Every structure is written in C-alpha cells, then in structure tokens.
Amino acid sequence: METQQELISQQIHLLGNMLGEVLIEQEGQALFDRVEEVRALTKAMRQGDEAAEAALQQVVEALSLDEAYGVVKAFASYFQLVNLAEEQARVRALRNRARANHSDGDPMRETISAAIMDLQRQGVTAGQVQQLLDRLLVMPVITAHPTEAKRRTVMVKLARIAGKLHELDTVALTPDEWTAAIDLIAEEIASLWQTDETRTHQPSVLDEVRNSLYYIEHTLFELAPQLYIEMRRALAEAYPGHDFNLAPFVHIGSWVGGDRDGNPFVTLAVTEETLRTQKALALRLYRSVIDAMYGVLSTSERFGVSDELRASLSADAALFPVEAQRFAARYPGQPYRQKMAFVYQKLLATEEGSSRPWRADRLAHPVEYGSAGQFLQDLRLMQDSLAQHRGARMARGRLQDLITQVETFGFHLATLDIRQHSERHASAVAELLGRYGLVASYGDLSEHQRHDLLTAELYNPRPLTPARLDFSPATNE
C-alpha cells in the first residue's frame, strides 16, 4: 500500500507534468527550458552548491521582461498547484484517521465528538452540557487581507481543480473516467495560465466584498448544517436518551464594506451596496437549495397534510393566482412541491424588492418575505407536516439543513461591523451638539462629562437630528 508521502508526490508530479505541457503549448519549448533551468539551479543551491547560486543569478539577470514574467508566472502556478495537492493530502490523512478511529470505537481527536465524549468521561452531566450549549457562540469574522490580491476567478478555477483531485482520490474511476478527469484538470490549468493572476487596477471595496463572500458561498454555507449534524450526533452518542435543545450558535461577521477606520473609500453608498450584495447572495443560495429539493419533497397528499400547510397554500394562491394554477397543474397532488414553488416565488420577489432604493419606512410587499423569520415559518410548516405524516426522515434531512442555513445566515448572510475612528465620532457629535446649543465645546469635556451628556441624550425621547441631514459632508456621512 502506498504511503501518504508517495501519494502526495504522485499528485505533485502529475500536476507539474500537466503544467509543463501547458507551458510548452502556450509559450513554447524555450520558456519551458528556462523554467527547468531555474528550477534545477535553485534545487542545487539549496543542496549547498555554491556555484549554482552564481549561475542562477546570471540566468535571472539575463532574462528579458517577457521571459521574467513567464518564469515568475510558471513558478506561481506551480506552487498554487502544489498547495492543492498538499491540501488534498491533509484531507486524505484526516479521512484515514477517521476510518481508523471508527474501527477502534473511539472518536477522532480534535473533533466535536471527541470534545463531547471528554466532557461525559469527566462526569459533566447532560444538564451542565445544556447550560454550555445555551451560552455557546461561534462567530468567525471575515476581514479584507491587505496582501490578498488573488482574483475570485482564479480562486474558482483552483477550487475546480481541487474538486477533481478529490475525485481522483476517492472515487474508483474507470480508465476512461480517469482520462476525462485528467483532461478537465489540464483544461483548467491552461485556462489558469491565460488568466491574469491579479487585477490590472486596484481592487475597490466592493471587489473585496465579492472576494470575501466567495468563502461563504463555497465553504461556510455548505459547512454550517454539517457542523450541527456532527454536534447532534456527538451529543446522542455521549448522552443517549437525552433530548438536547440545540439553538443556533454559529453566526458569521464581516468587516468588509463596513470598516471605515483608515479607509476613506468605505462610504455610506458602499456600505449600502455591501448589504444589498450580501442579501442578494443569500437569497440566490436559498433558491438554489429549493431547486435541488423539488426532487426530494415529492410526497403525495395521500400520506396526509397538516391543516396549517393547507391553509398556507390557500393564502399563497391568493397572493400568486396565476402561478398557483401553473403549480397545481405541474405538481398535482404534491403539496410540498407546490409549497416549495411558492417559497421560491417569494424569494424571487424579495430579491427584486431588495434591489430597489432602501427606505427606513418601506414595508415589504405581501408577496415578499419581510424577514428571514417569515421564510423560516414556511419551512417549519412543511417540516411539521412531514413529521406528523410519516415523513420524519425528510423532515430532519435536507429540509432541516436548509432551516439550519437560514438560522445561521438569515437574509443578511453576515453581520456587518460598522467601524469608524473615535476622532470622527467625536467631531460629528461635537457639530451635532453645537448646532443646537447643547454644549459649546464637546471636545473640552472630560470622559465622565461626555458619558453623562450622551447617556442623557439617548434617554431623551425627542429626536436629535432632522430627517434631512444638513450638517457638514463628513458629519452627514
């Protein structure tokens, strides 16, 4: 049986060979030879060959600008591919550990199952665990990394290559399937070569927002339900027979698009567009899940439907009379599919409503969801009806996963921290209070005096600012 090191070496060799083939196809044999020369000299230099260092310097100094760009891009692409192989090796090692631990009957170390089992073995009661769960909060916060210049397009391509590497590792492919997978990886590498690694312009704040949302869309959104499934399984194994209340404990935060401290490009308009972008992505993600669930919730009305779900279908039909006829004709006798179709329609209407200018006094149209809570209410109607009519497996399956995602991400996807330097706050408050003669020089007050003054204003029922702001641009912002 091959060792882990042999497997990773094979994948690195495979990816390196494909990159070499692409390099020759795209740029010619001369550049490939130059890259190989630099690689060989670098390897010799690391092994202590003093002459190699001088030779390497001579080769590099002789490169034209185009040659230097090609060599740098070749090595950058190579190391990106090596990183993918190493990540796949870590996944492989974790899977092997999980299988080994399962056969031994013990949970794998550094997992939720191991942590819960440790609590049980230390004598922590189920009631005490429930108290811990009631206080549990996990909140990753996404920030814009100042040195992260990788384009979203590049990240998507690398993710597709990683997916194919995982397939090669875990699926028993036929020779034809193996060849097809290799061809797809080679195609992605060629596309990667022809794609600029970084933007030709400085990324805007909204570019950073879209990049940050990549990790929610492609990782965290799918991961959230799995985390709760693992937690429920671990609790059931460690404390059999006890029914735990597992409230939502994972929430996502972000600074991208809201952090004004030191970034003059984060304006009110940028923050509003950030929130709009996050909500639009959340709604699209939910619609994609609904699309996939039509094939699951095909249950016939012969198995029974709750009165509450029937009433909701009638209410939805009144809101969408034209669509109701189409849904009834397409899904006759399938109440859950009909309900899913109405839910999808409401999500579409909600996204359309969110694209219009936002006003504080705007009320959601009846065909829209006014909140994620209303969306959850529709999902739980279906879940309860399924559970009451021999559909418990469907109720706690992918429908529960969707409910978990809505509880985690809502319609906002991630809470946005609005951060600003304290001096900007102090300046705005000073102008505000000075305008109405509440204090002559706010900046001269002590910390205690500021606290008392601001506390009194917060408790004062009258508004401090007019509906139409007419202060300096900085204070209005």
Residue 431 confidence (pLDDT): 81
pLDDT score recorded for residue 8: 86
Residue found under tokens 């991208």: 256
Question: pLDDT at position 2, please?
Answer: 66
Where do the domains of the chain lie?
Answer: 253-416, 422-476
- The pLDDT value given to residue 148: 61
Rg (CA), the chain: 29
Give the side-chain half-sphere CA count within 13 A for 2.
Answer: 12
Q: What is the pLDDT of residue 106?
A: 74
Give the integer Cα–Cα distance in Å for 334 and 323: 15
Task: Identify the three-state secondary structure at position 419.
Answer: strand
CATH node for 253-416:
1.20.1440.90
Helix-, strand-, coil-residue percentages of the chain, each rounded to 5: 70, 0, 30
Cβ–Cβ under 8 Å, residues 471 and 434 = no
Q: What is the DSSP string of 410-431?
A: TTTSSEE--B--HHHHHHHHHH
What token pair was written down for 127? 């009631």
Q: Are 402 and 224 in contact (CB under 8 A)?
A: no
pLDDT in tens, 184-195: 999 999 999 999
Q: How far apart are CA 163 and CA 171, in angstroms?
A: 12
Residues in the chain with pLDDT < 50? none
Q: Which two tokens stand for residue 147?
A: 């040195």
What pLDDT was estimated at residue 420? 82
> Which pair of structure tokens corresponds to residue 99?
């299988």
Report pLDDT digits (tens) over 407-441.
999 999 999 998 888 888 888 888 888 887 778 78
The CB density around residue 415, as the number of other CB atoms within 10 Å, is 14
DSSP state of 443: G
Cβ within 8 Å of residue 356, ≥6 positions away? none
How buried is 82 (Cβ within 10 angstroms: 0-12 exposed, 13-18 middle, 19+ buried)? middle
**Dihedral class, residue 144 (left if φ above 0, else alpha if ψ from -120 to 50, else beta):** beta
Beta-carbon neighbour count of residue 120 at 10 Å?
A: 16
Positive or negative: CA dihedral 251, 117, 236, 132: negative
21's tokens: 């083939």
Confidence at residue 33, expressed as pLDDT on a 0 to 100 scale: 94
Name residues whose C-beta falls within 8 Å of residue 474's C-beta, 6 or more positions apart in sequence: 424, 427, 428
Pair 405, 224: CB distance under 8 Å: yes
Q: What pLDDT shows up at residue 48?
A: 86
- The model's pTM is 0.85
Pairing status of strand 415-416 against strand 141-142:
unpaired
Q: Which pLDDT score is estimated for 263?
A: 81
Q: What is the pLDDT of residue 232?
A: 95
